[in-house]
Homo-oligomer: A and B are copies of this chain.
Amino acid sequence: MAATVVRFGTNVEVVCESGVVILDRKSAICVLGTGLIGGSVLRAAAGAGYEAWGYNRSPAGAKAAQADGFDVTDDIETVLRRAAADDALIVIGVPMPAIDSILSDIKLFAPGCVLTDVVSVKAPVAAAVGENELGARYVGGHPMAGTSESGWAASTSELFQGAAWAIGVDPGTHAQAWARVARLALDCGAYLVPVVAAEHDRAVARISHLPHVLAEALAVTGAGGGDLALGLAAGSFRDGTRVAATAADLVRAICEPNAEALLDALDDTLRLLGAARDSLAADGVLGELVDAGYSERARYDTLQRWEITGIRPGDHEWLERLREAGQRGGVIRTLD
């Protein structure tokens, strides 16, 4: 098989006729925003042997990372000029409200870099990337991991071990850029779920954003029972309200950019709860909801994740094929 050795920034790659992309050494990683998720990417990437550095808007946040031995500053220009010089893969780890500002900086100082993000919605980020004319080498990402803590102090190199990491397969995605982002996510210990932006956003509305809203409502309703109720609360309340401990600004930044899909999910839940409520009021029984909930939780518990093989970035219709495989529960655990 004929192969062409090409240089892609500072990284040597071998591009075969079949479209296989092989990186023979790890690309540099520049993380913008070193909170819980971004900070954990920085730690995991450094731990996996990448040259990795970062930026944090808050000097205190940058200092905390420095104190732990990481190369993080609050000077965005210096960080991005270095990313441009080293052809680093830029990972955007700031929350949605800060995206426009950070994209303007990238456009100014490092417009040629491959770009990904770890934001919890994908279509709004993709739109902002497009408006800043940075779409050509952008690949959306979303590691499905987190805690109710936030900030560098909560970050760990282990956060993504065994976690799903959604990776964009939207039309027009650049194969080499995609492979670099995919490699990073795998090296952080995650497996990949290929998905297009709009489908990602509808899915996470149901399994990530809605849980936040329900946790808030449960926390408020429980506390309505006073200290007696809170004093009797055990596992079901503790687990059901866990993510209500997430900082309120962060919850808004996660959920509100996905308003349309979250509304659909909320309306479904309101219909289910309303029917159970009416059944309880009329007949003293919760009705269909209990069996349905049990069945669907069992479906989640027994969900088979199967491994996608034989589709390589750049192959004929690779994006469509990965999208379709992801819809059917397929995941990627290794790159050829």
Query: A147 and B300: CB pair below 8 A?
Result: no
Residue of B nearest to A223 (CB): B296
Query: A210 and B203: CB pair below 8 A?
Result: no
Interface: A284 (CB within 8 A): yes
Q: How far is the CA of A196 from the CA of B324 in the complex (A)?
A: 57
Q: How far is the CA of A214 from the CA of B64 in the complex (A)?
A: 39
Interface: A218 (CB within 8 A): yes
Q: Which residues between 280 and 336 of chain A lie within 8 Å of chain B, taking CB atoms?
A: 280-281, 284-286, 289-294, 296-301, 303, 305, 326-329, 331
Query: A327 and B228: CB pair below 8 A?
Result: yes
Question: Which residues does chain B contribute within 8 Å of A214, judged by CB atoms?
Answer: 214, 217-218, 240, 273
Query: A232 and B300: CB pair below 8 A?
Result: no
Residue of B nearest to A252 (CB): B290
Interface: A100 (CB within 8 A): no
Interface: A129 (CB within 8 A): no
Residue of B nearest to A239 (CB): B239
Interface: A216 (CB within 8 A): yes
Question: Which residues does chain B contribute within 8 Å of A326, judged by CB atoms?
Answer: 228, 231
1/0 contact trace for A122-158 toward B, CB 8 Å? 0000000000000000000000111100000000000
Interface: A259 (CB within 8 A): yes
When the two chains form the complex, which single residue of B193, B243, B267 contacts A231, counting CB atoms closer than 8 Å? B193
- Count this chain's copies in the assembly: 2
Residue of B nearest to A229 (CB): B203
Question: How many of chain A's residues have a CB under 8 angstroms from any CB in B?
Answer: 99
Q: Which residues between 180 and 235 of chain A lie within 8 Å of chain B, taking CB atoms?
A: 193, 195, 199-200, 202-208, 210-235
Query: A213 and B252: CB pair below 8 A?
Result: no
Query: A245 and B301: CB pair below 8 A?
Result: yes
Which of the listed residues A207, A248, A303 has the most CB atoms from chain B within 10 Å of its own CB? A207
Q: Which residues between 29 and 83 of chain A lie within 8 Å of chain B, taking CB atoms?
A: none
Question: Which residues does chain B contribute within 8 Å of A331, judged by CB atoms?
Answer: 231
Query: A300 and B228: CB pair below 8 A?
Result: no
Residue of B nearest to A272 (CB): B217
Q: How far is the CB of A167 from chain B (nearest CB, A)?
A: 11
Known: A281-B263, A300-B219. A226 touches B272 (CB 8 A): no
